[in-house]
Amino acid sequence: MRILVSFITFLILATTGFAEPQRIISLAPSVTEAVYYLGAIDRLVAVSNYCKWPQEVTKKPKAGGMMDPSYEKILSLKPDLVIISKDVTPKEVYNRLVELGIKVHVYAPETLKNMPDELIRLGIAIGKEREAKIVAREFKESIKKIKKPFNGQRALFVIWAEPLTVAGKSSHINEVMNLLGLKNIAETSSINIETVIKLNPEIIFFGAGHKTVYERLILKLKDTNAFKKGNIYFISDKIYHLSPRIIEGIREMAGVKIKN
């Protein structure tokens, strides 16, 4: 009887706290942000070189890049879960981590629409399902409350200036632009200056980046309506990552006051 009680106790513990990963490594900013919103930031024993928010993660050990992590560093930290982002981490990295005997969770919110489900999947993986369901519900409600401040204006979102990289139709930023009532002039992430001038956007957004590089690009776009009317706006990196924090970035874009 005593053995049976001990076994049942073990099963209970194994399916509660002891089953939850306590040493997590995040290999992408979107993952780190999502883990924060689920209330498990204290379990991160390392993050990628690109994880800058929240501020406290800048003091955590670095596990390398999103595409080229340091396997030696990861192994030394003895994680019970490594979380990667599908959109930035190559399959080769996933395969190598698995080969090393490391448990891996793939965070894969490719759109605003499927992000709530991905948050719940992440919550289950780290033992925060209840919290994840709450965050997912709040995210859906926040999206519904976003008003459409624009009326079909042609727009361009520049991610990087040299080489010129923009948000194409398959990006989540394009989804944000549609949500706000903007028409994205870019079909793909690659576009040249001549095409931008020809398509003549009325609004140009610049994502977080190097100011001097952007200034050089802005001068090249002086023949666009966006430049002539002063409809050029800088948006923080909150818009870049598919985590609940993106709501702040969407509100930031929605809040710009365009000049006619």
- Each of the 260 residues of the chain gets a pLDDT tens digit; together they read 444 444 444 444 434 444 689 999 999 999 999 999 999 999 999 999 999 999 999 999 999 999 999 999 999 999 999 999 998 999 999 999 999 999 999 999 999 999 999 999 999 999 999 999 999 999 999 999 998 999 999 999 999 988 899 999 999 999 999 999 999 999 999 999 999 999 999 999 999 877 778 888 999 999 999 999 999 999 999 999 999 999 999 999 999 988 87
The answer to whether the pTM exceeds 0.95 is no
Return the pLDDT at 209: 74
pLDDT, tens only, 149-180: 999 999 999 999 888 999 999 999 999 999 99
* Cα distance between residue 147 and residue 39, in whole Å: 29
- The residue extents of the domains of the chain are 18-143, 154-254
Phi-psi region of 101 (alpha: psi -120 to 50; beta: other; left: phi over 0): left
DSSP string for 129-168: HHHHHHHHHHHHHHHHH-----SS-EEEEEEETTTTEE--
Beta-sheet pairing, 104-107 with 81-85? parallel
The tokens for 193 are 């200056």
- Domain 154-254 in the same topology as domain 18-143: yes
- Which DSSP category does 69 fall into? B
Return the pLDDT at 19: 67
Nearest to 253 by CA among 137, 148, 171, 96: 148
What torsion do the CA atoms of 200, 229, 248, 254 make, to the nearest 10 degrees?
-80
The tokens for 170 are 């398959």
* Cα distance between residue 256 and residue 242, in whole Å: 21
Return the pLDDT at 92: 96
What CATH number is given for 18-143 in this structure? Answer: 3.40.50.1980
Q: What is the third-level CATH fold of 154-254?
A: Rossmann fold (3.40.50)
Return the pLDDT at 215: 86
Return the pLDDT at 132: 98
* Cα distance between residue 193 and residue 197, in whole Å: 6
Are the beta carbons of 251 and 146 closer than 8 angstroms? yes
